[in-house]
A and B are shown apart, each in its own frame.
Chain A
Amino acid sequence: MDTMAWFKKYLGNHPPHDRLLPEAEWAVRVCEKLYRRTGDAAFRAHIVGCADAMVMWGNVHPGCWRALFFALAETGEAKYREAIENVMRKAWRDTLQHPDDLHYLCDELPFRMAYEMRLGGMEKVGLVAAGFRQICQKLRKEDTGLYGSLSGTVRLLLALLDAIGICSDQLYEHWRAMVDLYRAGLTAALSAEKEDQETEAMLVYAIHEGVRMGLIDPERYLPIARKRIAALRAAGHETAAAMLEMEGGAW
């Protein structure tokens, strides 16, 4: 299959304002990486369109927060900054009060990290890292090492990867604290019983990103990722497999 052609067709069929699209987050992630790699304006347009939709709605679509930062960096338009600031004006939720609300966590902490690194003067980078630490400590199961369920752990791994990717490694203690949480969570996730295919796809992505970012040993982990993506494809989960393939470039 020509995955690039498939993905472009996919974007054509799923415009960015389709707010209910479950893969919207993935589409934005993939578009951002492909735009950086190819410079193809179609990918840029999809992300900026997604940001425009969120400005119009007045809130952030789950997983798509990165589109606002991308659009701000690309266009410099004040409306994106305003949308980001609007989210930031909402009070920090007490992570210990809502430790099970991974949906919140997986959007809010990376979003706040992006804000701190790009707009906020890095004032609260330590708080973001501490937020992750508190949540992981709270959720961690002694017997499995998972942060709650497998799917919850995997969501958390993706959030950690987002935050690690944004955080400067010159703030090493914060960066490293998140890396350690990621590594421990990944080890637990790989030992756990497989759940649904979506979780499996996200886990493969979490491995691949960890390798790409130099956090884990490619010699040990890439064969695991390759085996799992092959299994996904064999099971007919073509969308996830293709997205992962697009994301990964050369596996």
Chain B
Amino acid sequence: MFEVKKLFVSARSCTVELPDGGLYHTKKPYRLTLNGEDAGTAETVVHTLYGLWPETKYTLKVFDGDKEVGRASIHTKEESFTLNVQRFGAVGDGVHDDTPAIQAAINVCPKKGRVLIPAGKYRVLPLFMKSHIRVEIQKGATLLLETDRTKFPILPGMTRSTDETRDLNLGSWEGNPLDMFAAMISGNGVEDVVIYGEGVLDGQGDKGDWWINHRTMRGAWRPRMLFLNDCEDVTVQGLTFCNSPAWNLQPYFSRKLKFLNVHVTAPADSPNTDGFDPESCTDVLLAGMHFSTGDDCIAIKAGKLYMGATYKTPTSYMEVSHCLMENGHGGMTCGSEMAGGVNHVTCHDCLMRNTDRGLRIKTRRGRGEQGVIDEIVFENVRMENVGTPYVVNCLYFCDPDGRTEYVQSREKQAVDERTPRVGRIAFRNVTATGVACAGYFLGLPEQPIECVEMENVSISCGADAKPMVPAMACGVPSVSRKGLVAINVEKVVMRNVTVTGQDGVKLECENVAEVDEG
């Protein structure tokens, strides 16, 4: 028996956790019943049930064969009205522009009401959420994002207040308040919103010109799939996001967020199609997510210097559990835009497969003294064919000035208001196989990484692992069958750490004050 944990209950859906010891997938399939009726099979630890009725009590039972192994009581929430977008004129034929109909339904939806998008193909321009509503995108429904950028609204980076004393920040690009095309789904200052269902949101990045000459700003910076700015209590449940023009899901200066059982996919060679990029957010839960992207699966951010120093808002108290990260550059990344700080992030019970890196911390001189990365914990994580499972890189060569002497110098610089800091990073019960480099920790000479803790960690180098540059900083060579490397680190703690298959030593140190292998 295990305890079935309820992660989220809405009026018509419920996400539960079936903790049988599996990471993303359960160790075996489980048969489910709701009030004695068949409710399908669960094959993932985090599982969502749809088609529930509002304000109804259910008993969920979980069976392994005929044996009941878990149960939970579910009481669904209230729902006031359902507004079907087809009643508002949406056609759903993939040709007609259904934006006005869907937006109208959203705008007039009463509190606790549901906007229902039934099966069909809906061609849309950016849509804007409002507070206290639920939007269900049902199985068989696909929203197709318009590909012509000239039709997109632009959200300005900064707008001055009428009395010229304040700024309104609506747009963002890579940590700076810059003009951007509105996301496929935008929330600005909204609260109590649920967006859920088994439908698909297709950004059609593969069909428009978003991925062509992508580093050049044309009109505004590229849109995301979901952008939540200054939002609170928002849950996204079950949907599939694919082919984003740029980053997929970006909550921004928002709080109390849940992303459950969401699938995010993009071709492996698509540019900057990060899966999930919370920026200056707090109290964030990601559970049962599946990522397969062209860039980092999860990239935790907190702005570049201006935003970090001005608003001093870190991303903090974030939990990532039972997720599958595949392909792309990094499994879970912090930075490189982290000037507001990133702290208290736990990634546990996750599986990473075929990503370049596993945990990847990226920062650089110029991110500022607010830019502190601290209390990052990796626990019960398995990595398969991950090039370098652990990378902390404080000399990341990003941004227009990323390769300058100031950023890349290996000489000790003055610690000042532009110097970021990396505190404690911990890895427990982690296995990594088929790696090229066991780990690469590159601190700043003037501000070494404070502490890297590894406990019950097993890393095996792949005999045929593709050589790779473990950290994107000037002068870091391509390697394969390489052990752990620590440069400019205060303390390395290693307890029950095994590295196998490497050429040379297990741990190579340069300017490391203390190695504790007790």
Contacts and interface: CB of A to CB of B under 8 A. Distances in A.
Contacts of A79: none
A125 interface: yes
A168 B307 CA distance: 16
Contact of B404 (A122, A169, A172): A122
B306 A170 contact: no
B177 A172 contact: yes
A169 B178 contact: yes
A183 interface: yes
Given A170-B178, A170-B400, A217-B160, A123 B405 contact: yes
Contact of A172 (B160, B304, B403, B406): B304
Contact of B400 (A122, A176, A183): A122
A176 B306 contact: yes
Interface residues of A, number: 16
B242 to A, nearest CB: 28
B164 A170 contact: no
B399 interface: yes
Interface in B348-404: 366, 399-401, 403-404
Given A122-B401, A168-B400, A173 B305 contact: yes
Contact of A123 (B304, B305, B399, B401): B401
Interface in B383-435: 399-401, 403-406
Contact of B399 (A126, A171, A176, A183): A171
Contacts of B174: 170
A249 interface: no
Contacts of B401: 121-123, 125, 171
B82 interface: no
Q: Which of A121, A126, A173, A187 counts the most B-chain CB atoms under 10 A from its CB?
A: A173
Contacts of A187: 164
B176 interface: yes
A170 B403 CA distance: 15
Nearest to B158: A176
Contacts of A123: 401, 404-406
Interface in A153-177: 168-173, 176
The number of chain B residues touching the other chain, given as a range, is 20 to 34
B5 to A, nearest CB: 42
Interface in B277-336: 304-307, 309
Interface in A105-126: 121-123, 125-126
A241 B516 CA distance: 75
A170 B176 contact: yes
Nearest to B305: A173
B309 A173 contact: yes
A169 to B, nearest CB: 6
B43 to A, nearest CB: 44
B309 A170 contact: no
Interface string B157-170: 00010001000000
Contacts of B306: 172-173, 176
Interface in A84-133: 121-123, 125-126
Contacts of B160: 216-217
Contacts of B399: 170-171
A223 B57 CA distance: 65
Nearest to B178: A169
Contacts of B405: 123
Interface in B118-153: none
Q: Which of B306, B307, B366, B401 counts the most A-chain CB atoms under 10 A from its CB?
A: B401
Contacts of A170: 173-174, 176, 178, 399-400
A171 B174 CA distance: 11
B213 to A, nearest CB: 16
B308 to A, nearest CB: 9
Contacts of B400: 122, 168, 170-171
A209 to B, nearest CB: 17
A121 B404 contact: yes
Given A121-B403, A125-B401, A172 B176 contact: yes
B307 to A, nearest CB: 8
Contacts of A125: 401
A170 B304 CA distance: 10
Interface string A215-231: 01100000000000000
A176 B177 CA distance: 10
A75 to B, nearest CB: 24
Q: Which of A121, A126, A170 counts the most B-chain CB atoms under 10 A from its CB?
A: A170
B176 A169 contact: yes
A77 B401 CA distance: 26
A125 B404 CA distance: 11
Contacts of A216: 160
B168 to A, nearest CB: 13
B164 A172 contact: no
A194 B123 CA distance: 57
B156 to A, nearest CB: 9
Contacts of B305: 172-173
Contact of B304 (A126, A173, A183): A173
Interface in A193-219: 216-217
A31 B178 CA distance: 30
A173 to B, nearest CB: 4
A217 B404 CA distance: 35
A170 B217 CA distance: 11
Interface string B479-506: 0000000000000000000000000000
Contacts of A169: 176, 178
A172 B177 CA distance: 8
Nearest to A123: B404
Contacts of A121: 401, 403-404
A172 B309 CA distance: 12
Nearest to A167: B400
Given A122-B404, A123-B401, A169-B176, 13 more contacts: A121-B401, A121-B404, A125-B401, A126-B366, A126-B406, A170-B174, A170-B399, A171-B399, A171-B401, A172-B176, A172-B177, A172-B307, A173-B309
25 contacts: A121-B401, A122-B400, A122-B401, A123-B406, A126-B366, A126-B406, A168-B400, A169-B176, A169-B178, A170-B173, A170-B174, A170-B176, A170-B178, A171-B400, A172-B176, A172-B177, A172-B304, A172-B305, A173-B304, A173-B305, A173-B306, A176-B306, A183-B164, A187-B164, A217-B164
Question: Can you list the 8 inter-chain pairs with the closest CB atoms, starting with the nearest?
Answer: A172-B176, A122-B401, A173-B306, A173-B305, A123-B404, A172-B306, A122-B400, A168-B400
